[in-house]
């Protein structure tokens, strides 16, 4: 290891370069982490704190660590920490007036597992009996909390909503790309974790400062019993996920590259050769990396020694397969191979690992995922990389994916808050949003400082946009002069995304008959809305994880600012609450009362946005241009605007990015009405109804035309 062959040095550099090209580099790792930390904050604030619930969201795993590539197709691991129950590791932690549960360790308990005994909220004494369906009484008369609660609830929801149900270990999810784990937080680290702080180590990593910090992380209890335990339905497993994330966040980029290669080998080489005889997991690979980071000196973790570090980790795994014991890095007494492999399967795994090591990782040359093999062996390391364009394209694609996810999650959370204001008077919204911003500022303090500012500024601009159009709508409704400060609010809210807030400003100007200014704003939006812009909808019509559905990217729009997460290449839907109605064209007023008769009974609980007017940004841009240029007498530009609006449907790529196609149909139909073609408009409205029979404002438009009414 001290005198590596020249082959290893060259291949290490090639491999490191290839990994950088596919997104495992310092810049992209930082961007991934910041994105998922912002989503954590949004989920916790909007879905928990402001809804009166007491839970905290965490994003763990490779997506939030930055240790994945597009070819690994990693899912998103989300842990929901329920804070309504006080988990006691000792009687001194009992709290009056709260639900309390005591961690109990029995001789029969499996390693890393505890029982949860139910304790009275009015006195530090155990419950003697309970009729609650998820409580059981054991042979010693103790009332215990079973771990099947979350799985049963998830299955009932999937049956109610007629959706698929996915389960794996403690994970219960209704979405394929998400692993949801519900857990309880224990403020004190169990005895099994304490030994980790005391064991001998070289000292360079983790540093004494890190060890001091992670003592405050505590641990989670997840509902996952030991696989062959008779008491597995009442056992809860210790999960030091926060400690592990802190350790992973402290890693050097080359260490993360080592981990990613281990996962690539696991997914594309090792497990396929194991067939169905047990599977090596990412956590096994992470465990090898953690031990290697602790044992290898810092000088080993360099780009030109990457291959040696990978081989060292493989040798650790190989040694564990021979002894049959894979230790947990933090929790003492745990064998991570137990229940995963039989002796024969471990022998087979040992042969595979030995072969990979003996052939000096040459198998990497045959990895097709992410085109890794070709990237490594394409050109001389000292020449300009062949894949520069491909590197930029990959970087752009990952930036797009992360930006879409951030916008989607934060915007969806904000929509949840807006749904609470449906019956508010306009004046009441000011105090409500003041409380909202105060709550955001309170709970966002745990984010790193740059993210804290970015997240609050983004939410603040969203609030300003609603404030501005609500206040302007009141002025227009009352026939009063719109004060200058309302225009300042509009201008301060413009950078929520590339289009939506600007379109709300333009719409206000059209409704206020300031057509020249409206035309200037619309021209600015059209200039910004290039082929790279991705439409984002948080109304339930979009899957933010569907990377194939995202627009192809040009290779020139890379955002290199580390502190910019919410880039200007996304366009949110334009949304009008009923309090903003007079800032919207009259045709959108019908969208706010789209439900007819039984339609409302056919809405999902998450479709409260149907009480608003919601339209995709691009067709709304062209519709506003049509109105503006029509009233300005610019017939040529008016015709071009309606052609562009038609093209939103005629062009297959644009049509695939419409999340409210029925509203787009209705806008085109209204343009036909204004153009003196009511028969064609009626056909379009009927086509809209055929595409979406319920909760569609086109019913109103068909009724109008049949009665001879115009907007």
Q: What is the pLDDT of residues 87-118, one digit of tens each?
A: 999 999 999 999 999 999 988 888 899 999 99
- What's 630-655 look like in SS3? HHHCCHHHHHHHHHHHHHHHHCHHHH
pLDDT digits (tens, 9 = 90+) for 414-473: 888 888 887 788 778 878 888 888 888 888 877 777 788 888 888 999 999 999 999 999
Backbone angles phi, psi at 252, to 5 degrees: -75, 160
Q: What does the pLDDT read at residue 432?
A: 85
- Give the whole-angstrom CA distance, residue 396 versus residue 385: 18
SS3 content of the chain, % helix, strand, coil (to 5): 55, 10, 35
Residue 179 tokens, joined: 């692993």
Q: What does the pLDDT read at residue 47?
A: 84
Helices 426-443 and 26-47 pack at an angle, to 10 degrees, of 130
Query: Which long-range contacts does 550-559 make (Cβ < 8 Å, 24+ apart)?
Result: 550/397, 550/400, 550/401, 550/404, 551/400, 551/653, 551/657, 553/393, 553/396, 553/397, 553/400, 554/396, 555/389, 555/392, 555/393, 555/396, 556/392, 557/396, 557/532, 558/392, 558/395, 558/396, 558/399, 559/399
Which residues, 6 or more positions from 260, have their beta carbon under 8 angstroms from its beta carbon? 19, 24, 67, 68, 69, 72
pLDDT digits (tens, 9 = 90+) for 376-421: 887 544 443 444 455 556 777 888 888 888 888 888 888 888 888 8
- Give the whole-angstrom CA distance, residue 536 versus residue 616: 9
- Section 249-259 average pLDDT: 97
Q: What does the pLDDT read at residue 565?
A: 54
* Tokens 């997840």 sit on residue: 222
- Give the whole-angstrom CA distance, residue 463 versus residue 496: 10
Per the CB < 8 A criterion, the answer to whether 615 and 664 are in contact is yes
The ranges of the chain annotated as CATH 1.10.1410.40 are: 6-24+67-377
Provide the CATH number for the domain formed by 585-711 in this structure: 1.25.40
Q: What does the pLDDT read at residue 379?
A: 53
Q: Is the pLDDT at 548 greater than 60, yes or no?
A: no
Strand partners, 536: 572
What's CA 228's distance to the chain center, in Å?
34
- Give the whole-angstrom CA distance, residue 182 versus residue 151: 10
Provide the CATH number for the domain formed by 6-24+67-377 in this structure: 1.10.1410.40
Which residues, 6 or more positions from 353, have their beta carbon under 8 angstroms from its beta carbon? 270, 314, 317, 318, 321
Q: What does the pLDDT read at residue 558?
A: 42
Residue 118, helix vs strand vs coil: strand
Residue 158 or 65, more confident: 65
The ranges of the chain annotated as CATH 1.25.40 are: 585-711
* Tokens 């949004």 sit on residue: 42
Residue 56 or 561, more confident: 56
Which residues, 6 or more positions from 294, have their beta carbon under 8 angstroms from its beta carbon? 201, 202, 205, 206
- Section 549-559 average pLDDT: 44
- Give the whole-angstrom CA distance, residue 110 versus residue 163: 34
Cα atoms in the Cβ-side hemisphere of radius 13 Å centred on 272: 7
Q: What does the pLDDT read at residue 447?
A: 76
- Give the whole-angstrom CA distance, residue 280 versus residue 341: 9
In the chain, count H helices and then E strands: 26, 16
Per the CB < 8 A criterion, the answer to whether 215 and 189 are in contact is yes
Comparing C-alpha atoms, which of 216, 205, 270, 209 is closest to residue 243? 216
H/E run at residue 517: helix 515-528
- Give the whole-angstrom CA distance, residue 470 versus residue 2: 69
168-206 burial: b if 16+ Cβ within 10 Å, else e: eebbbbeeeeebbbbbbbbebbbebbeebeeeeeeeebb
pLDDT digits (tens, 9 = 90+) for 508-534: 999 999 999 999 999 999 999 998 889
Judged by average pLDDT, the poorest of 11-20, 355-364, 384-393 is 384-393
pLDDT digits (tens, 9 = 90+) for 24-55: 999 999 999 999 998 998 888 888 888 888 89
Q: Is the pLDDT at 562 greater than 80, yes or no?
A: no
pLDDT digits (tens, 9 = 90+) for 655-693: 888 999 999 999 999 999 999 999 999 999 998 999 889
Residue 694, helix vs strand vs coil: coil
Q: What does the pLDDT read at residue 53?
A: 86
- Give the whole-angstrom CA distance, residue 181 versus residue 81: 8
Per the CB < 8 A criterion, the answer to whether 154 and 178 are in contact is no
pLDDT digits (tens, 9 = 90+) for 605-646: 777 888 899 999 999 999 999 999 999 999 999 999 999 999
- Section 124-134 average pLDDT: 88
User: What percent of the chain has a predicted confidence (pLDDT) above 70?
Assistant: 94
Q: Considering the entire predicted model, what is its pTM? A: 0.88
Residue 181, helix vs strand vs coil: strand
């Amino acid at each position: 290891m001290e005198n590596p062959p020249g082959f290893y040095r060259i291949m290490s550099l090639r491999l490191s370069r290839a990994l950088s090209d596919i997104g495992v580099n310092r810049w992209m790792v930082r961007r991934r982490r910041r994105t998922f930390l912002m989503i954590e904050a949004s989920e916790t604030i909007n879905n928990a704190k402001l809804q009166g619930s007491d839970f905290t969201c965490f994003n763990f795993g490779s997506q939030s660590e930055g240790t994945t590539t597009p070819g690994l197709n990693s899912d998103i691991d989300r842990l929901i920490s329920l804070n309504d129950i006080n988990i006691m590791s000792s009687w001194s932690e009992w709290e009056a007036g709260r639900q309390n549960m005591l961690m109990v360790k029995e001789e029969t308990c499996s390693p890393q597992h505890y029982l949860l005994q139910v304790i009275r909220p009015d006195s530090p004494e155990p419950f003697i009996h309970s009729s609650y369906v998820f409580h059981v009484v054991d042979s010693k008369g103790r009332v215990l909390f079973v771990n099947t609660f979350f799985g049963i609830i998830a299955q009932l929801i999937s049956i109610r909503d007629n959706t698929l149900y996915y389960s794996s270990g403690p994970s219960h999810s209704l979405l394929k790309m998400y692993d949801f784990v519900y857990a309880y937080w224990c403020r004190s680290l169990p005895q099994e974790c304490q030994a980790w702080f005391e064991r001998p180590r070289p000292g360079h990593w983790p540093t004494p400062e890190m060890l001091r910090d992670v003592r405050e992380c505590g641990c989670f209890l997840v509902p996952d019993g030991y696989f062959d335990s008779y008491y597995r339905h009442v056992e809860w497993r210790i999960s030091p996920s926060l400690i592990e994330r802190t350790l992973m966040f402290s890693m050097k980029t080359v260490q993360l590259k080592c981990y990613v290669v281990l996962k690539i080998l696991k997914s594309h080489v090792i497990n396929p050769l194991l067939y169905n005889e047990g599977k090596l997991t990412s956590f096994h690979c992470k465990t090898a990396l953690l031990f290697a980071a602790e044992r290898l000196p810092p000088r080993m973790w360099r780009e030109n020694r990457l291959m040696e570090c990978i081989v060292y980790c493989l040798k650790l795994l190989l040694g564990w397969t021979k002894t049959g014991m894979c230790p947990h890095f933090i929790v003492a007494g745990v064998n991570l191979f137990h229940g995963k492999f039989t002796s024969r399967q471990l022998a087979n795994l040992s042969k595979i690992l030995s072969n990979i090591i003996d052939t000096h990782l040459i198998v990497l040359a045959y990895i097709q995922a992410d085109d890794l093999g070709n990237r490594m062996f394409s050109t001389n390391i000292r020449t300009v990389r062949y894949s520069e364009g491909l590197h930029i394209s990959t970087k752009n694609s990952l930036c797009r994916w992360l930006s879409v996810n951030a916008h989607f999650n934060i915007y969806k959370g904000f929509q949840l808050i807006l749904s609470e204001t449906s019956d508010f008077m306009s004046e009441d919204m000011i105090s409500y949003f003041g409380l909202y911003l105060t709550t955001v500022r309170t709970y966002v303090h745990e984010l790193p400082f740059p993210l804290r500012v970015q997240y609050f500024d983004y939410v603040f601009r969203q609030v300003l946009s609603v404030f501005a159009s609500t206040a302007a709508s009141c002025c227009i409704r009352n026939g009063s002069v719109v004060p200058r400060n309302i225009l300042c609010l509009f201008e301060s809210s413009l950078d929520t995304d590339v289009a939506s807030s600007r379109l709300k400003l333009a719409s206000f100007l059209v409704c206020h008959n300031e057509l020249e200014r409206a035309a200037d704003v619309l021209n600015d939006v059209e200039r910004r809305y290039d082929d790279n812009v991705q439409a984002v909808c948080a109304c339930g019509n979009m899957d933010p994880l569907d990377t194939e559905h995202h627009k192809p990217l040009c290779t020139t729009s890379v955002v290199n600012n580390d502190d910019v997460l919410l880039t200007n290449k996304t366009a949110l839907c334009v949304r009008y609450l009923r309090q903003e109605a007079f800032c919207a064209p009259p045709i959108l007023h019908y969208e706010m009362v789209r439900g007819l008769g039984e339609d409302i009974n056919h809405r999902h609980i998450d479709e409260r946005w149907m009480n608003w007017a919601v339209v995709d940004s691009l067709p709304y841009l062209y519709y506003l241009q049509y109105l503006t240029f029509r009233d300005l007498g610019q017939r040529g530009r008016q015709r071009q605007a309606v052609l562009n609006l038609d093209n939103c449907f005629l062009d297959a790529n644009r049509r695939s990015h419409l999340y409210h196609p029925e509203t787009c149909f209705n806008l085109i139909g209204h343009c036909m009405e204004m153009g003196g073609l009511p028969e064609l408009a009626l056909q379009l409205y009927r086509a809209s109804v055929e595409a979406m029979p319920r909760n569609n404002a086109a019913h109103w438009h068909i009724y109008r035309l049949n009665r001879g009414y115009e907007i």
